Chains A and B, each alone.
Chain A
């Protein structure tokens, strides 16, 4: 009863990507962009495969992944925790709501210079920035999901003998899971963008740093390699999250 992935779905999913690659190749082949500035996809992917087996490039990927995961996981823990708490308690909500209103629209990247001074050039400052940016979509969708839980689910559990304080974990959290995971999905995309951005601005390693270094020395091919890498990472991570999602939401109508 779980939807199966059909070959046609895969085809439909990859066709637009193939189109973009064809367009890219076309731009180069028909001379719209000079090969030195826009290298053809074949060369970029060839270079990527070369790089992937080198330990230096692997270390750059690992550095980026640590920051991405660190920040994202912190955002999930705080976003879900604060969101649920705010939905459960009007007192907490009255504190959280104005703070969220002020901080959510703030461009978090503006805090990055301050974070660098506070936390240094290593992982910590980047993890904090990623967490700060991914936090709000997760928090807001958790709050939304938890505050719209059907009253009768809660009543059913209470009648069965669940104490009030356990309702949060036994009913509200699982019932809010669809919204929470939607927030996580948005948070994950934001994490990918922000970790790369932070590494481009100031870093000594990571994929963003690789790109900036290549750009400074006009190495067009090497500039595209980290770009493709981060989008592949995003694709893989999104796929993993999707798998988690369809497992956790197996009982819910239409994921």
Chain B
């Protein structure tokens, strides 16, 4: 589905020095897979996601979607940003309807679909609220619904639950898994959290500190559908979490820049 082939990204910083954010990244994501990208802050996870989204052109290497080189954003790849990025001048319904309307769906149909989606993410009754009137968790749900509304084939999620409290985070993780188990979209999911990555993913891509490289790819062979309460007691789950945490610890002990 997505092929990333020897992608590197160099940024010009204000100090006029070049900063290597991503170095020689190759990764392929199969259709319908749930892949998490895990790594320390500043290792280039967001940058990698922006490259797949077509928002940033890589300095070298290419990213492909279904065999075609990615040259810009498109509705086949739907981003959900950490900052929510909801349109403040639109209501919840207006935000969710935006995508379908851009796709040329008739207003009545777009509205019906959007209302159903808003209900699915648990925000029925909030259709006419403005983003400023919602909590962080609710905004994140709207952002997810807004992206799902235009039926992207791939979801690109950048630490979507990073800013939320533990309780809301768990609920949203469960909701996301339910949605994913229903329509099996391809998901690339950036996160800081090891448990989150193991709980959700088929594959965890571990990145190392700058310059961002892929350190290791771990296949999470845990049965689905996954139930959080069962999984927490499952020794296989525990082993994945501990193994991955150990690998990051080794990374840190190797000293700065490793």
Measured between C-beta atoms, what is the minimum distance from B63 to chain A in Å? 15
Interface residues on A, range: 20 to 34
Question: Which chain A residues lie closer than 8 Å to B77 at the CB level?
Answer: 159
Given contacts A157-B98, A177-B89, A251-B89, contact A152 B83 (CB under 8 A): yes
Measured between alpha carbons, how far is A171 from B88 in the docked complex, in Å? 10
Inter-chain contacts of A157 with B (CB < 8 A): 87, 98, 102
If over half of A's interface residues share one DSSP class (helix, strand or loop), that class is named, otherwise mixed; here it is helix
A252 & B102 in contact (Cβ 8 Å cutoff): no
A31 to chain B, nearest CB (A): 56
Nearest chain-B residue to A166 (Cβ)?
A: B102
Q: Which of A150, A156, A159, A252 has the most CB of B within 10 A?
A: A159
Contact residues of B between 175 and 217, Cβ < 8 Å to A: none
Contact of B75 among A155, A159, A177 (CB under 8 A): A159
- Find out whether the CB atom of A155 lies under 8 angstroms from the CB atom of B132: no
Quick check: B79 and A156 within 8 Å, CB to CB? yes
Cβ-defined partner of A174 (8 Å) among B79, B89, B150, B152: B89
Closest Cβ of chain A: how far from B148's Cβ, in Å? Answer: 11
The contact of A155 among B79, B103, B133, by CB within 8 Å, is B79
Q: How far is the CA of A171 from the CA of B81 in the complex (A)?
A: 17
Contacts of B102 in A (CB 8 A): 157, 160-162
Given the complex, which residues of B lie within 8 Å of A249, measured CB to CB? 89
Contact of B81 among A152, A251, A252 (CB under 8 A): A152
A192 to chain B, nearest CB (A): 29
Q: How far is the CB of B45 from chain A (nearest CB, A)?
A: 15
Q: Does A250 contact B (CB under 8 A)?
A: yes
Distance (Å) between the CB of A247 and the closest chain B CB? 11
Bound: A153/B86 CA distance, A: 7
Q: Interface code A33-48, partner B: CB below 8 Å = 1, 0 otherwise?
A: 0000000000000000
Instruction: Compute how far the CA of A243 lies from the CA of B95 in the bound complex, rounded to whole angstroms.
Output: 24
| B132→A252 contact, CB < 8 A | yes
A250 touches B87 (CB 8 A): no
Does A156 contact B85, Cβ atoms closer than 8 Å?
A: yes
A253 contacts chain B at the CB level, 8 A cutoff = yes
Q: Which residues on the A side are within 8 Å of B55 (C-beta)?
A: 155, 158
List the B side residues contacting A160 at CB < 8 Å: 75, 98-99, 102-103, 146, 150
Query: Is A175 an interface residue, CB under 8 A from the partner?
Result: yes
Which residue of chain A has its CB nearest to the CB of B149?
A160
Known: A251-B130, A251-B132, A252-B132. A159 touches B88 (CB 8 A): no
Q: Which of B78, B81, B83 has the most CB of A within 10 A?
A: B81
A106–chain B nearest beta-carbon distance, Å: 34
Whole-angstrom CA separation of A89 from B196 in the bound complex: 42
- Once the chains bind, are B89 and A159 in contact (CB under 8 Å)? no
Complex contact B132–A159 (CB within 8 A) = no
The closest CB in chain A to the CB of B77 belongs to: A159
Q: Which of B74, B87, B133 contacts A153 (CB 8 A)?
A: B87
A residues within 8 A CB of B133?
1
A251 touches B85 (CB 8 A): no
Interface status of B169 (Cβ within 8 A of chain A): no
In the docked arrangement, what's the CA distance between A118 and B6, Å? 66
Expressed in whole angstroms, the Cα–Cα distance for A249 and B131 within the complex equals 12
B85–A153 CB distance below 8 A: yes
Most buried by B among A1, A160, A248: A160
A-B contact pairs, 22 of them (CB 8 A): A150-B85, A153-B85, A155-B73, A156-B79, A158-B55, A158-B72, A159-B78, A159-B79, A159-B152, A160-B99, A160-B146, A171-B87, A174-B87, A174-B89, A177-B89, A250-B130, A251-B87, A251-B88, A251-B130, A252-B88, A253-B88, A253-B132
Please name the 7 residue pairs, one residue from A and one from B, whose CB atoms are nearest each other, closest first.
A152-B85, A160-B99, A251-B130, A161-B102, A158-B73, A161-B75, A174-B89
Contacts A150-B83, A248-B89 known; 7 new A-B pairs at CB < 8 A: A152-B83, A156-B79, A158-B73, A159-B152, A161-B75, A251-B130, A253-B88
